[in-house]
């Protein structure tokens, strides 16, 4: 299958996707900003995880590691078909993955709902297969839940924020909401990239619309 001349904003099926590999990519065990904290399991007891995609994962990861109550972060690939993909393969649009951030957090210090506020306000979730000038399926907005409690909070916050966006003149949210499958860690040089390269590219940009938290709409 050719990589060139292909529409990278079109999703691929499992049959079209690149085969990938059985072995994970070589990645570090510890966080560059918090050297005593792991980016891979096992994590300390009581911590929870969440996975978000909001465009280029360099700026997205920094947004979360700077959030109070977040213990650790890592960047990787999620939501697609290809096992253990490389960055080049993901950029080809032939894996189905989006660039994603794994957030390890202490629920006693920051709630999942508060992380959703960071997620929604940190990017424009109405842009489909792009984020700003970054175009392709790997830049799509996505939130992958790990259990039913996260699913409920995620869907409620999406409805609430979509209402706020429409009131401000924005379009419909296009965020992919799905159960988390496998999270594949990205290569070493991507991990905490903007800590290693402080003046590196960050394409992150929100809508300027505030996301209300604690106001999710639920059916009685």
- List residues with catalytic annotation: 56
CA end-to-end span of the chain: 50
Please work out, in degrees rounded to the nearest 5, the angle formed at the alpha carbon of residue 91 by the alpha carbons of 157 and 87: 95
42: preceding bond cis by omega (within 30 degrees):
yes
Residue listed under structure tokens 């990589």: 3
Alpha helix stretches (DSSP H) within 6-127 = 57-65, 87-91, 112-121
Say if residues 32 and 192 touch (Cβ distance below 8 Å): yes
| Contact in structure between 121 and 160 (CB atoms under 8 Å) | no
Beta-carbon contacts of residue 171 (< 8 Å; ≥ 6 apart): 126, 165
How do 48-54 and 141-145 pair as beta strands? antiparallel
């Amino acid at each position: 299958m050719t990589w060139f001349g292909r529409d990278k904003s079109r999703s691929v099926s499992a049959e079209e996707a690149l085969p990938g590999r059985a072995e994970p990519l070589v990645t570090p065990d510890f966080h560059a900003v918090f050297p005593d904290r792991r980016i891979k399991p096992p994590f300390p007891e009581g911590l929870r995880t969440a996975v978000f995609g909001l465009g280029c994962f360099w700026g997205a990861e920094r947004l979360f590691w700077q959030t109070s109550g977040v213990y650790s972060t890592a960047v990787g690939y999620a939501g697609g078909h290809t096992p253990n993909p490389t960055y080049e393969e993901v950029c080809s649009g032939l894996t189905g993955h989006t660039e994603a951030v794994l957030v390890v957090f202490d629920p006693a210090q920051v709630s999942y709902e508060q992380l959703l506020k960071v997620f929604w306000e940190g990017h424009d979730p109405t842009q489909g297969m792009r984020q700003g000038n970054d175009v392709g399926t790997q830049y799509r907005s996505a939130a992958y839940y790990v259990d039913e409690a996260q699913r409920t909070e995620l869907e409620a916050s999406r409805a609430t924020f979509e209402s706020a966006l429409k009131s401000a003149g924005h379009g419909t949210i296009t965020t992919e909401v799905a159960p988390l499958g496998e999270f594949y860690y990205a290569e070493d040089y991507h991990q905490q990239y903007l800590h290693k390269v402080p003046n590196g590219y960050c394409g992150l940009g929100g809508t300027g619309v505030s996301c209300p938290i604690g106001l999710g709409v639920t059916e009685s």
